[in-house]
Amino acid sequence: MIITRHSKMWRIGYFVIGSLIFIIIGLFIWHDHQEQERLAQKNYINSNIPTLFIHGWSGTLRSERKMAADAEASGAAQRRMVIRVRPNGKIKVTGTIKKWMRNPIIFLRMDNNRAGEFQYARWLTKVCKLLKAKYHINRLNFVGHSMGSYATVYYNMMNGNRRDLPRSNKLCLIAGPYNGIINNGKQNQPIVGPLAKLWDDQPNANRLLKNNRPKIIHPEYQMLNQLKENLPHQVRILNIYGDLNDGSHSDGVVTNESALSLGYLVKGRISYYQVFKTSGPNAQHSALHNHNLAVDRALTNFLWGKHYNMSSSAPKYNPMLDKMMNPSMAFKGRHQSTAKNN
């Protein structure tokens, strides 16, 4: 009988202690959530303009999730919709976009992820037309990587400010091959057909003239040059590129010249254009969208940061943003337009 009473008392004691532990843990989680919400409201805008993520050659939703993960973790934005484009052009939408949503993210997946940037742009036009007609989206941000960046620029030059499409707002372009891709002879490169001609560059084979126009102009750049007058004047662009610092002046796939040749096309035509360079081993082409802290920080600050300085040639340093995006790292000094990744 005594043993039974002691057993009951022990069980009650364990239950009380366990409950207290769960309550304490819950309070810590709630407090952290409240603190993150407070910091998010302090550091990020509250906008209902969606941001559309577009992957590159052979890219998948995984590529886009990695680009958006840090922005979501910091509370800057939240994924709300996934759009899938079938090879025949049919569109499947998962999720929705509502006016009350704060900084919503849309992922765009091309099932035929080797169709090339021109086909990407045509599908992008179809997707954006749907977003305006069905979801009443009037303004749109874009984030593109590699061919997704080229497709974004080509889409905007091809369509301008068409009334049946959302007006483009901010374009965050990462590793865009505007004037050629390095021919590395990789297995995923096309070897025949018109797309094979896009791999037409080599490290240190080209250079920018004083007016930022490339000395050697490849056909895909000439295409953009012919359409540049149609680029919507209201867009704001952040052009991010990588340099491995290995003498190639490239990210291993796209040369600095090819990425920077965008400047000549947009100069004097849009309201804001800024270049952001990241260097070192983590500046490799695919690594630029794979939890690269410098890129994530620049992307998030440009799209949603309250303290981003649109009147400056370099982003305004925001130490709180650094802390929120990577609390384990301490940043010293001012944030500059060139970031090293070691």
Tens digit of each residue's pLDDT (9 = 90 or more) over 180-219 = 999 876 656 666 567 766 778 899 999 999 999 999 999 9
Of 31-45, 70-84, 217-231, the one with minimum mean pLDDT is 31-45
Query: How far is the CA of 200 from the CAs of 102, 182, 258, in angstroms?
Result: 42, 6, 11
CA separation for the pair 172, 188 (Å, rounded): 26
Burial class (CB in 10 A: 0-12, 13-18, 19+), 290: middle
Element (H, E) at 85: strand 78-85
| Confidence grade of residue 332 (pLDDT, cut at 50, 70, 90) | very low
Secondary structure (3-state) at 87? coil
Domain 47-340: give its CATH superfamily: Alpha/Beta hydrolase fold, catalytic domain (3.40.50.1820)
Start-end of H helices in 74-195 = 117-135, 147-159
Express each pLDDT in 68-101 by its tens digit. 888 898 899 999 999 999 999 999 999 999 999 9
Express each pLDDT in 242-300 by its tens digit. 999 999 999 999 999 999 999 999 999 998 999 999 999 999 999 998 889 899 999 99
- Start-to-end CA distance of the chain, whole Å, equals 68
CA separation for the pair 254, 243 (Å, rounded): 9
Phi, psi for 231 (deg, rounded to 5): -60, 125
Residue closest to 106 by CA, chosen among 89, 131, 136: 131
pLDDT for the residue 254: 97
